[in-house]
Amino acid sequence: MSRERAEELNRQWSGISPEEVLRLAAETFGIEGIAFSTSLGVEDQLITDLLHRQGLDLPLFTLDTGRLPQETYDLLDETRRRYGVRIEVLFPEASSVERMVSQHGPNLFYESIDKRKECCRVRKIEPLKRKLSKLDAWICGLRREQSVTRVGIGVVEWDESFGLFKISPLVDASEAEVWEYVRAHGVPYNRLHDRSYPSIGCAPCTRAVEPGEDVRAGRWWWEQAEHRECGLHRHQEQ
């Protein structure tokens, strides 16, 4: 039923503007039922700006894995100040991080895909799961052209991994369109984007990309492209 409802909403909301998607999402799920998950990437900054301009007072949250670049923390502060918003910051369970790092070391993610996924599970997925279990829908900044793992996504989907609706208002946007908006409206963005980091995650798992490389090529660059998701958007791996 939830899957059918997601398909129905996806048909209705496909092709409409991101502003309208956000407005409909707020109206459909209500302020108690939906939240925006921002990683502070450029797409997410655009969404924060759209919410602010429309006066849509939806809750915002972000995941602090404990391994983020300083530039991301700087942007978190700048965003809070610029928009006057409260951004809930979710941390991993301290005991789980202590156990993992004590057993496998601080750089376990370079040793195998399994250990990398374990680190993402502890630092990202578990905190996200705790948060999403209280919601009916979440908003995120996915775009289809971001990577081979994201080509099939819809504006509304049933998120099988976490059991709620997932809404991606920018699904049809191109990278050029995102940057055009951000520059035209003076939206604050991560300074790493100016240093050839199109997609930014944890510091040890993100590198700059070469000209012509896929925008996600700098994420977990030591793995094959089809593995390069952290599990937050797990079903796109299929």
Q: Does 124 bind ligand SF4 (CB under 6 A)?
A: yes
Taking CB under 6 A as the criterion, the residue among 18, 45, 50, 123 binding ligand SF4 is 123
- Tell me the sheet residues that pair with 138: 35, 166
The answer for residues whose C-beta is within 8 angstroms of residue 200's C-beta and 6 or more apart is: 39, 40, 41, 69, 71, 72, 190, 192, 193, 206
CB of 51 or CB of 205, closer to ligand SF4: 205
Selected from 35, 142, 156, 230, the binder of ligand SF4 by CB under 6 A is 230
- In the complex with ligand SF4, the residue whose CB is nearer, 123 or 193, is 123
HSE at residue 186, side-chain half, CA atoms within 13 A, is 3
Of 50, 51, 100, 120, the residue at the interface with ligand SF4 (CB under 6 A) is 120
The footprint of ligand SF4 on residues 1-60 (CB under 6 A) is none
Span near ligand SF4 by CB under 6 A; candidates 35-43, 93-101, 116-124, 173-181: 116-124
Catalytic residues: 230
Report the nearest approach of ligand SF4 to the CB of residue 148 (Å): 18
Of 109, 158, 165, 181, the one binding ligand SF4 by CB under 6 A: 109
Query: Under rule CB under 6 A, which residues in 64-103 are in contact with ligand SF4?
Result: 65, 67
Q: Which residues contact 132 (CB under 8 A, 6 or more apart)?
A: 138, 159, 162, 163, 164
- What SS3 state is found at 27? helix
Q: Cβ 202 to ligand SF4, closest distance in Å?
A: 3
Q: At what angle do helices 175-184 and 42-54 cross, to 10 degrees?
A: 50
- Judge contact between 119 and 108, C-beta under 8 A: yes
Query: DSSP assignment, residue 141?
Result: -
Binding window for ligand SF4 (CB under 6 A); candidates: 12-20, 26-34, 138-146, 202-210: 202-210
Cα–Cα dist 163/158, whole Å = 7
Of 127, 141, 198, 201, the residue at the interface with ligand SF4 (CB under 6 A) is 201
- What strand order describes the sheet that includes 156-159? 87-90, 60-63, 34-37, 137-139, 164-167, 156-159
Select from 30, 152, 163, 204 the one that contacts ligand SF4 (CB under 6 A): 204
Residues that bind ligand SF4 (CB under 6 A): 65, 67, 109, 116, 119-120, 123-124, 201-202, 204-205, 230
